[in-house]
Structure formats: structure tokens, C-alpha cells
Chain A
């Protein structure tokens, strides 16, 4: 019984971890979209200029 509860707790923890990883991915896409919009698609040109 105690083992079952422990297992369920671990599964729930893993699901929440995946949900938060999904949020991180959404944030990265949001940042990427904003940066590309700002540079009007010239992302690589900016890196070339900086370097």
C-alpha cells in the first residue's frame, strides 16, 4: 500500500515535471519569435555583425 502511494506520487511528480518542461519550450519559442521579428529574419546577419 505504502509502495503504491510512493509510486503514484512519483508518477504525479514526473507529470508535473513534463508540464513545466513544456512551459520552458513555449517560452523559448516566444523569445525566438520576438527576436526574429525584431531582426526581421536576419538572425544570422546579426551574429555575423556581432562577431
Chain B
């Protein structure tokens, strides 16, 4: 097969991948909704029964037969790390929280496990609806699952205030506007984009040295300190429309927006080769072992297509099941937080050892982000060519 024929096949498969993901997106809306009543019972196990009068707020009775009302419950909604989450919020008759239970969430399993393994949910019991529910002020956030814990706190706040306002007819406190989160991770990210912008210049003398500084900064700050690398779940969130509140998730917008902007304007990937923390970790291993791009020919082709297949499957299932973090198979958290399943640790061990001999084995043959960036680049170039052809025709005529 010639190179041109290969390119045609690649373009056709790229279009088929997009069409199948669109079909999955539509089909995902047909999946049935969960029965929420068991979650009300989980939130308040001592309650006898829950009855819904019709406004989305359930009345909670002391036992199965009596008319003794002990509180109210509803579903609070907010955005977590992976997308919207629904939480049952039950309050007593004074507006104090009696219990919480997560009904639906789109979190990466390892993040949710951190919350489930802690007493975070229980720490809301007894909180007043007038409290601000701010992390590390009113409630202790869970390290490494900040967005998930913030989402639960926000859902608890909204649910309890809804009951207080609509059912208990209590006055609500003034809600201060959301505070813009612009801290060290955001500053680092902007700094790394700027370093990349300078470093990408063709005639820059210290390109190699600056790239190593950028990679090490990415590895230490975005990897080990904050554990916030780009993952396929970020792409899935973008596709599913689960865009978080910008004031509290500025980092996400800077990461996604920065990459898309540089790619579109300059046709260069500012992230993977310059400050991806996991890429940097592999390159450090490679520097120790003298790694080279060892695979060639059919082995390389087979692995590239398997990588594309994995990325397609990860996006397709996430879109179908409306859960961006579900198929995020990256092992970044396993390395930087030392959290993960046995399989993930096994995979991490294999990758780190292989990195000693092969240059960036994860990035080259397994990472789901590479096929996504390849596809984006293909369509970007195609649109650019089309645009130039149209302009050429216009100038001739």
C-alpha cells in the first residue's frame, strides 16, 4: 500500500471513528435512569419511609405507618471532577443535614474511592443549611480528590438550601459570588506555556536545556505536587459538554484551551513533548537507560493501530455511558499518588522498566491522547488546505 493510499484509509477510519462516537452519544441518552429511592434510605437509614408530594422534595417519616414527619430530603446537583453528580441530601426539621448519599457521579473510580474510604460524607451530618460548605473551612476536603469533594459539598449546599427555602420556608443567607481560583498550579501552567512558546522557536539556542527544565517542572509541580496532568477524561468532558464552573476550575480551561489554541494557531503540540508529567518521568528513565525508538516497521504499525483502537474505545464507552472518567486508563495517578488497582501498578512497573530501553513507550504506543491529537491535527490541516485552496481560487478569479 502506498503512502497516499494509507493516508486515505486513515482519513476514512478517522471519519468512521467520529461517526461511531456521535452514534454512541445519541444512544447514550436512551439508557434508563436510576431508581433513586434506595439512595434516600442509604442517606438516612433510621427513617421509616419517604414520600414525594410532587415538588422534588421528599417528606421523611419516622416509621412505615405513622404521620410523624422527621425531616425532608431532595437531590442536590453539582459538578464534580468528571461531570455532574447527584447527591441525596436529607435534613431535619430545622434545616440541619441528617445524611447524604451519592446517587450518580461521573468521577474517575480512584478519586471516588478516596472519598468513599474516608469519613467525608459523614462529616456533613449536623451541618446547618446556612453554613458555607467551603472545603478546608467548613468541611475537610480529601487530598487528591479536591474536585470530587468540592462537587459533593456544592450538591449538599444546594440540596439543603432548596429544602430550607421551599419546604421549611426559612430565610436563606446571601450567597457570595464564586471566588476565582488562580493559584500556583494555574500560574505554573501559564508559565509552562510561555516557556514552550519561546522554546518552540526554530532558532532558539537553548531549546534542549529549556525543554528539560520545562519537563522537570511539569513532572514535579503538575505531577508529584498537584497530580493534574491531561487525561482522556478531560477530552471526554469536553465532548460530553460537562464543562465545570470556570471560576473554580480555571486550571481545566487553561489546560484544554491552551492546548487547543496553540494547536490551532501554530500546529504544534505544546503539552506532550514539553511538560506532560508522565512523559517527563519516562524520559528521565530513558536518560538513565539510554532509551531509543527501537520499534519499526510492522510492529510499530500494529501498535499504533492498537493505540488508536484503545483511544476510540475509551471515548466511545465514556460517551455512551455519560461518564468521562470511566475509561480513563492512564496510570498517572498510580505513579504520582501511588493509588490504583493491582493491574495499574503492574502496568506502571512494565512501562517504567520499558522506558529504560524504549523512548517514551507509553506516549508512543499506549497513551489515548496521541490518537486524539493526531486526529485533531489531520482535520486542522485539512481545513487549512481547504481554506487556502478557496482563497487561491478567489484570487485567480
Contacts and interface: CB of A to CB of B under 8 A. Distances in A.
Interface string A8-35: 0000111011011111101111110111
B358 interface: yes
Interface in B231-280: none
Interface in B347-369: 347, 350-351, 354, 357-358, 361, 365-366
Interface of B: 27-28, 30-32, 109, 294-296, 299, 302-303, 306, 310, 313-314, 317, 320-321, 323, 326-327, 329, 341, 343-344, 346-347, 350-351, 354, 357-358, 361, 365-366
Category for how many chain A residues contact B: 20 to 34
A42 to B, nearest CB: 10
B294 A30 contact: no
A7 interface: no
Given A31-B313, A50-B28, 8 more contacts: A13-B299, A19-B350, A20-B366, A26-B347, A30-B329, A30-B343, A31-B317, A34-B109
13 contacts: A13-B295, A16-B294, A16-B358, A20-B365, A23-B350, A27-B329, A31-B314, A34-B109, A35-B317, A35-B321, A38-B323, A50-B30, A50-B320
B240 to A, nearest CB: 15
Contacts of B31: 46, 49-50
Contact of A17 (B295, B314, B366): B295
Contacts of A26: 343, 346-347, 350
Nearest to B28: A50
A23 B366 contact: yes
Nearest to A26: B347
A24 B320 contact: no
A30 B351 contact: no
A19 B354 contact: yes
The 4 closest A-B pairs by CB, nearest first: A17-B299, A50-B27, A27-B329, A26-B347
B344 A30 contact: yes
A12 B306 CA distance: 20
Nearest to B323: A38
Contact of B109 (A13, A20, A37): A37
A24 B314 contact: no
B148 to A, nearest CB: 16
A13 B295 CA distance: 6
A27 B343 CA distance: 8
A18 B109 CA distance: 29
Contacts of B310: 24, 27-28
Contacts of B329: 27, 30-31
B285 to A, nearest CB: 14
A32 B109 CA distance: 13
Contacts of B347: 23, 26-27, 30
A27 B347 CA distance: 8
A31 B354 contact: no
Interface centre among A29, A37, A38 (most CB of B within 10 A): A38
A5 B32 CA distance: 60
A34 B314 CA distance: 11
Contacts of A28: 310
A26 B302 CA distance: 17
A17 to B, nearest CB: 4
Contact of B294 (A13, A23, A46): A13
B11 to A, nearest CB: 24
Given A27-B329, A30-B341, A30-B343, A17 B350 contact: no
B299 A27 contact: no
A37 B109 CA distance: 10
Contacts of A27: 310, 329, 347, 366
B350 A22 contact: yes
Nearest to B344: A30
Nearest to A35: B317
B278 to A, nearest CB: 14
A11 to B, nearest CB: 12
B390 to A, nearest CB: 40
